[in-house]
Amino acid sequence: MQVMAYLTEHERDLLAVWRAQAISIREIGRRLRRHPSVISRELKRNGYGDNGYVAILASAKARQRKRRAGLRQPLKYPWLYSHVLERLRWGWPPETIAGRLKRDHGGKSVITHETIYRFIYDPKSKHLKVWQYLPRSHRKRRQWHGRKSRVELIPNRVSIHQRPEVVNRRKTFGHWEGDSVIGKGHKEAIHTEVERLARYFQAKLLLQFNSAATVKAQEEIFDGLPPKARQSVTLDNGLEFAEHEQLTGSVGIKVFFADPYRSCQRGTNENTNGLLRRYLPKGTSFKNLDQEELNDIVAEINNRPKKCLNWATPEEVFLSYTNERRG
């Protein structure tokens, strides 16, 4: 009598036929040289209804159960456990960790982001508190809803609907999205810009949150770039962008404005600002923040691999277009 706990595909075919003929579990076990308990367990675990058993469905249920069992210890290899835990502590989301591993292993999947999430929220991992390293640090997984953009209209603003289609489809380099991340009390702010194709991030600290300080920050960001890297920028409708015409005149960059309440039209910038908030949560005062500290945060964000870049980093992609490193 065989001791192997699971039936083969062929044995399941025979079981289905004999079960349909109302042959007893004991007799089926004798024919298959299996203990009756193995047959009984197979019918209970992989059958359907009261007495139904279809071989192909039983095999599918068995494979699914085996996959789930493999995920109960998703990080059982010491090197993988250490690697994932280290990247989580770096602030990398599970999708980034899984994607970069796949890229580094010649396109072969090493682990899925869902497996990492299961590890994070597994009761056995609770003592590690690794959920606190996720971008939004939730104890439980939840759906995130983006914030709405501001609605103030800007004089002589040019609508995003006049922006060339090639820019909309991210087919060309040098087109940016800009916004403001506001500190506690609306006294200080950070002006942010993200290049749409490379997802390259730049940020400048504003000790005064107004249009004059904002346009100066934009000029500092764009002035050092080659012309091909500063073709256009799309902004929201905050009054800090009221001097957009000065930016066009001094730097030569075209300025477009998104529709009110359509933050999705600047999704790249919104998402990257979310990463910045990982370091500087809402309600944080920027009074004691300096530009050097902000540059360190920006560098970390620019060196985080992204799925949309085939798990390259924004800095790698940006430098491939400009061939120059900016501080």
Query: What pLDDT, on the 0 to 100 scale, is given for residue 194?
Result: 98
Backbone angles phi, psi at 262, to 5 degrees: -125, 65
Confidence of residue 91 (pLDDT cuts 50, 70, 90): confident
**Better pLDDT: 77 or 139:** 77
Mean pLDDT of the chain: 85
Confidence label for 308 from pLDDT (cuts 50, 70 and 90): very high
Q: Would you say residue 172 has pLDDT above 50? A: yes
Which of 225, 238, 221 is closest to 294 using CA atoms? Answer: 221
Q: Which residue has the higher pLDDT, 122 or 274?
A: 274
- Whether the Cβ atoms of residue 166 and residue 172 lie closer than 8 Å to each other: yes
Residue 233, SS3?
A: strand
Output the pLDDT for position 107.
Answer: 86
CA distances from 48 to 7, 35, 45, 61 (A): 17, 21, 8, 10
Tallying the residues shown for the chain, one arrives at 327
Question: What integer pLDDT is reported at residue 27 of this predicted model?
Answer: 93
As given in the structure block, the two tokens for residue 171 are 């087919």
pLDDT 10s digits, 6-62: 788 889 889 989 988 989 999 999 999 998 888 988 888 888 766 678 888 888 888
What DSSP designation does 129 have? -
Could you state, in order of their start, the residue ranges of all structural domains in the chain?
A: 9-69, 78-133, 160-322
pLDDT category, 148, cuts 50, 70, 90?
A: very low
Cα gap 241→233, rounded to integer Å: 11
CATH code that applies to domain 160-322: 3.30.420.10
d(CA 44, CA 62): 12
Alpha helices in 150-290 (DSSP H): 165-168, 211-223, 244-251, 267-279
Give dist(CA 135, CA 271) in Å, integer: 11
In whole angstroms, give the CA distance from residue 12 to residue 274: 52
**pLDDT score recorded for residue 325:** 47
pTM flag (> 0.75): no
Q: What percent of the chain has pLDDT over 70?
A: 87
Instruction: Look up residue 25 and give its two tokens.
Output: 């579990």
- Containing 10, the helix (H) or strand (E) segment is helix 9-20
Please report the pLDDT score of residue 73 as a whole number. Answer: 54
Which DSSP state fits 123? G
pLDDT tens digits along 200-258: 999 999 999 999 999 999 999 999 899 999 999 999 888 899 999 999 999 999 999 99
Reported as a single tens digit per residue, the pLDDT across 198-212 is 999 999 999 999 999
CA distance 94 to 111: 10
Instruction: Kindly give the pairing relationship between strand 254-257 and strand 232-235.
Output: parallel
CA 325 vs. chain centroid, Å, equals 25
Residue 144 pLDDT class (50, 70, 90 cuts): very low
The answer to whether the Cα torsion of 123, 126, 130, 132 is positive or negative is positive
d(CA 282, CA 202): 19
Strands of 189-195's sheet in order across: 201-206, 189-195, 175-182, 232-235, 254-257
Torsion angles phi and psi, residue 179, rounded to 5: -165, 180
Distance CA 196, CA 297 (A): 19
